[in-house]
Amino acid sequence: MVRLIQLKKSAWVGILAILLSAVVWADTLVLKNGQAQATITVPAGTKLMVKLGQAVNTQKDKTGASFFGFLDLDLTVDGIVVAPKGSKLYGKVVKSDGGNRIGKQTIVIQYTDLVVGNQQLPIVTDPLGAEGNKGGLVKKVAAGALIGGAIDGGQGAGTGALVGAGVGVLAGGKHIQIAAGTLAEIYLKQPLTVTR
């Protein structure tokens, strides 16, 4: 009887050791449909390198319009890939002014969702964008950093309208466009929990 109780205790110790090692790998172990799943928390302040998947401009994209992009680098926590390069992101145009006054155009966008596996997860990130000035140039606005990539003003774009690594250009003198393929560096403003 004593030996049986000792075996049961050692079995429980083994099970506990397995569970603890799983928790070391992830924040939490959850049961869903009888299967163990790990949740990983990506902390606030984590940097995301993203690539715009479509052109966004003040001519066609009004405030509230949707757009998409992709992770340009793996999103990792402690060496674990949470979302691989190429994972899709969705976002909204936060501000879009253009068309009437040269030098007063502004486009500001913000990523709002990240797709991990079959989950579309809400995220809170820095906004990013560009603003025109009367000299026909464009400057960066908002907290995120547009760091270059494929910038194109379309037909009628002025020469020399690039800023730094290429934030955006005036299109036809009245609109700003951030082209598909533009890279941006943004930061999570709140933690993101991913169930795997």
- pLDDT in 10s for each residue of the chain, 196 residues: 444 445 455 565 555 555 444 444 444 444 445 555 689 999 999 999 999 999 888 888 999 999 999 999 999 999 999 999 999 999 999 999 876 665 678 888 999 999 999 999 999 998 888 777 665 556 666 555 565 543 333 333 332 223 333 445 544 567 778 888 888 888 999 999 998 7
**What Cα–Cα distance (Å) separates residue 194 from each residue in 45, 111, 116, 122, 123?**
16, 17, 8, 10, 11
User: Does the predicted TM-score (pTM) go above 0.75?
Assistant: no
Contact 130, 98 (CB under 8 A): no
Question: For the chain, which residues make up each domain, given as ranges?
Answer: 2-40, 44-195
Angstrom distance (rounded) from CA 11 to CA 5 = 10
Residue 187's beta-bridge partner residues?
47
pLDDT for the residue 145: 59
User: What is the second-level CATH architecture of the domain 44-195?
Assistant: Beta Barrel (2.40)
- pLDDT, residue 28, reads 46
